[in-house]
Amino acid sequence: MSYDDPLEAFTDFFTGPYREQIQELDDGYPDERSLRIDWHTLESWDGSVADEFLRKPSRMRQFATNALTRLDEISVVGVNVRVYNLPDRKTVRVGKYRTRQLGKLLSVRGKVVDMDGVQPYAEEAAFECPLCGTLSRMPQSYGDLMKPNECAGCEHSKPGFRFNREQSELVDLQKIVIIPPDSNLEEPPATIAFLKNDLVDMVGPGDLVTLNGIYETFDGQSESTLSTYIEVLDLDITERTEIDTYGASEIREFIMDALTEEIQATDDWAADRASVVDAVVERHGVRREEVDDQIEYLIGENDVGAEGSRLFDI
């Protein structure tokens, strides 16, 4: 069947060949907020839709997200649509990208050599006019915060907009840098990649990864030679490098130390779980998933105190 409407196409795909994965998403929601689409499964179902996803991934990903919210069988919002298992022809070596590939979906294999901590990122920023209180929302890109040129309410030009965090759409963001895994060059080509939401803290320095993402240019550039990055939609970890490896008992000690400090700092009997996880990750370089696993162990064993899991405020 040939589809003229991508929204209809994804609706049929989700209620047809992908119905089991949709049910698994619904069962795990809201803890699970990502739907991974196997490109080859999509291609087997409808080659034209799959090829269009490679050519216009941002557009097709939005159609897929919208289709999820329209399904009668489930009720989910804020789901991350991810695509993996791309065809071999879309695999590119780090630094071998071409202009014709801008905006396209690529698969890049590399070694992680640098990474930043996780930070909040405004995908859509809300700005409040100090004169009339009207809120204006603007989609953002990496770099300086982009503000409206005019208030939609009082029509004043740049009245000194105030950023409104509560009304903005914020996500977790992490920047990593990858190089070719087999390069012998002193200064090998490097690529910046951005991870969002549940992809953050999944990799560490030295890990070999395959990034499936969109090849893009930064906004607001001042030179004719453009700087680029990969907007990561999905990743696979081929090989982990064990750095500062700790045993389970050591990680549990880190958790209890952070838990005690959090309770003392807030002068309360409950501690925010995310704050405890962040503290252990930042101080000891332990991967987030390892910390979460040990918290679950402590809760299961009721080793976090008399109140059990309530100490983590979950």
pLDDT given for residue 278 in this prediction: 84
pLDDT given for residue 75 in this prediction: 85
pLDDT given for residue 121 in this prediction: 96
Q: Is 33 helix (H, G, I), strand (E, B) or coil?
A: coil
Which pTM does this prediction carry? 0.76
- Domain extent at residue 131: 120-170
- Positions in the chain whose pLDDT score sits under 50: 243, 306-310, 314
Nearest to 99 by CA among 189, 230, 231, 226: 226
Q: How many CA atoms lie within 13 Å of 244's alpha carbon, on the beta-carbon side? A: 12
> Same structural domain for residues 124 and 228?
no
pLDDT given for residue 314 in this prediction: 45
pLDDT given for residue 306 in this prediction: 47
CA distances from 29 to 12, 66, 83, 104, 309 (A): 21, 17, 19, 30, 20
Q: Please say which residue of 35, 68, 85 terminates a domain.
A: 85
Q: What are 216-238's pLDDT values in tens digits?
A: 999 988 899 999 999 999 998 87
> Same structural domain for residues 256 and 305?
yes
1 part of a folded domain: no
State how far the Cα of 265 lies from the Cα of 278, in Å rounded to an integer: 15
Paired tokens of 209: 């990864």
Question: What CATH number is associated with residue 194?
Answer: 2.40.50.140
Look-up: residue for tokens 């990502």? 34
Question: What CATH number is associated with residue 48?
Answer: 3.30.1640.10
pLDDT given for residue 269 in this prediction: 66
pLDDT given for residue 303 in this prediction: 52
Paired tokens of 163: 């950023």
> Same structural domain for residues 112 and 188?
yes
> Same structural domain for residues 110 and 230?
yes
Q: What are 80-96's pLDDT values in tens digits?
A: 999 999 999 999 999 99
68 part of a folded domain: yes
> Same structural domain for residues 65 and 33?
yes
pLDDT given for residue 13 in this prediction: 96
> Same structural domain for residues 58 and 46?
yes
How many domains in the chain?
A: 4
Q: Please say which residue of 216, 239, 262 terminates a domain.
A: 239
> Same structural domain for residues 186 and 290?
no
State how far the Cα of 13 lies from the Cα of 19, in Å rounded to an integer: 8
CA distances from 225 to 99, 218, 221, 230, 312 (A): 11, 11, 9, 17, 49
The shares of helix, strand and coil residues in the chain, as percent rounded to the nearest 5, are 35, 30, 40
202 part of a folded domain: yes
pLDDT given for residue 285 in this prediction: 74
> Same structural domain for residues 113 and 148?
no
Work out the burial of residue 225: count CB atoms within 10 Å of its CB; fewer than 13 is exposed, 13-18 middle, 19 or more buried: exposed
Q: Please say which residue of 38, 70, 85 terminates a domain.
A: 85
Write the DSSP symbol of residue 145: P
Work out the burial of residue 67: count CB atoms within 10 Å of its CB; fewer than 13 is exposed, 13-18 middle, 19 or more buried: buried
251 and 298 Cβ atoms separated by less than 8 Å: no
pLDDT given for residue 158 in this prediction: 77
> Same structural domain for residues 155 and 177?
no
> Same structural domain for residues 63 and 141?
no
C-alpha torsion sign, points 262, 267, 270, 275? negative
> Same structural domain for residues 110 and 220?
yes
> Same structural domain for residues 12 and 69?
yes
Paired tokens of 79: 């789901």
117: how many CB neighbours lie within 10 A of its CB?
Answer: 12
